[in-house]
Amino acid sequence: MDVVKTDIPDLLIINPKVFGDSRGYFFESYNEQKFIEKGINYQFVQDNESFSAFGTIRGLHYQLAPFAQTKLVRVITGRIYDVAVDIRENSPTFGKWMGVELSEDNKKQLLVPKGFAHGFSVLSEKATVFYKCDNFYNPDSERGIYYNDPKLNIDWKIESTQAIISAKDKMNPEFDQAEMNFSI
């Protein structure tokens, strides 16, 4: 497993070692011991999976502390553009975002720690996204940021006319009005 640091500290791209031959492939998507050896120590307690059509944008989502979640995100089928926004108020990268393409082909994973809003856009006809969380879903602490906030200026890698957004995500506040309680 190869761990790639990004321009935003604590956001990590995980490249698992994939063994492939004429039969297909095998890889360990998660091995607690190997993650700990790389300095990544989380106890994951919940697995989530979503299925979405092309153009779907989910996010930007997070849970307030103390119910915040670290997420380890990967794609089972299809291709997405995965985005994380630093919402740790005293962070030098506060309000900055980073995106990476995750796909069934590249097998990359994104580690999104607590203190980040998370979302993704679907770039393929369909996509199945799987992610591990280190805290349980808590609807009372669930928050979001408007996906198309001009201050963030996120390039979702799809035309705005093709974007499919849930009614709930359309109601999220812009970055400057969003409730956040994170620090580093």
pLDDT by residue (tens digit) across 121-153?
Answer: 999 999 999 999 999 999 999 999 999 999 999
State the number of CA atoms in the 13 A half-sphere of 59 facing the CB.
24
- On average, the pLDDT of the chain sits at 97
Q: Sketch the domain layout of the chain as residue ranges.
A: 2-177
Question: Is 111:72 a contact under the CB 8 Å cutoff?
Answer: yes
Class of domain 2-177: mainly beta
- Report pLDDT for 36: 96
Tokens of 184: 């580093």
* Model confidence pLDDT, tens digit, residues 35-91: 999 999 999 999 999 999 999 999 999 999 999 999 999 999 999 999 999 999 999
Assess whether pLDDT exceeds 90 at residue 28. Answer: yes
- Report pLDDT for 183: 85
Q: Is 61 a catalytic residue?
A: yes
Question: Is 119:60 a contact under the CB 8 Å cutoff?
Answer: yes
Q: Is 118 a catalytic residue?
A: no
Q: Which candidate in 42, 81, 131, 146 is catalytic?
A: 131
Query: Which residue in the block uniquely carries the two structure tokens 């199945």?
Result: 128
Q: Which candidate in 42, 61, 81, 146 is catalytic?
A: 61
Region 100-116: what's the mean pLDDT? Answer: 98
